């Protein structure tokens, strides 16, 4: 559940500008401010079902954006490479093989930023 929430928050950070204002506001209230469906419905003078449907459509839109653009996947890949590089650099005795791997990581990061 926490992984799913983190994924939704990252997708929101990446793709919020592609959502409608109402979708952005509703997702923010629901996921960031912990408003209930009923509280959001009261705020917008609508039904809980309408709020639920709006949230589901917004989440589906972000998933479709991710399918097409892949920015969330790219971000995760880059974070994994950076974590590996950090781990290699923390080693007091850096071996030649570690330096080679660091060069590969840097090359992969450069290539991924060109996509």
CATH class, domain 2-69, is mainly alpha
Average model confidence (pLDDT) across the chain: 91
Tell me the per-residue pLDDT of 47-81, one tens digit each, with 9 for 90 and over: 999 999 999 999 999 999 999 999 999 999 888 88
48 token code pair: 């809980």
**For 19-30, how does the pLDDT look when each residue is reduced to its tens digit (9 = 90+)?**
999 999 999 999
pTM for this prediction: 0.78
> What local confidence, expressed as pLDDT, does residue 7 receive?
94
Mark out the alpha helices in the chain (DSSP H runs).
2-15, 21-27, 37-44, 48-69, 71-90, 96-113
């Amino acid at each position: 559940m926490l992984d799913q929430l983190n994924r939704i928050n990252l997708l929101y950070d990446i793709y919020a500008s592609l959502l409608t204002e109402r979708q952005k506001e509703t997702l923010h209230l629901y996921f960031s401010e912990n408003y209930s469906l009923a509280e959001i419905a009261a705020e917008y003078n609508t039904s809980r079902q309408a709020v639920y449907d709006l949230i589901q459509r917004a989440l589906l839109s972000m998933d479709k954006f991710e399918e097409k653009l892949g920015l969330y996947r790219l971000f995760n890949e880059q974070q994994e490479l950076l974590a590996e590089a950090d781990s290699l650099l923390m080693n007091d005795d850096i071996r030649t093989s570690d330096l080679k791997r660091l060069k590969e990581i840097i090359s992969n990061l450069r290539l991924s930023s060109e996509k």
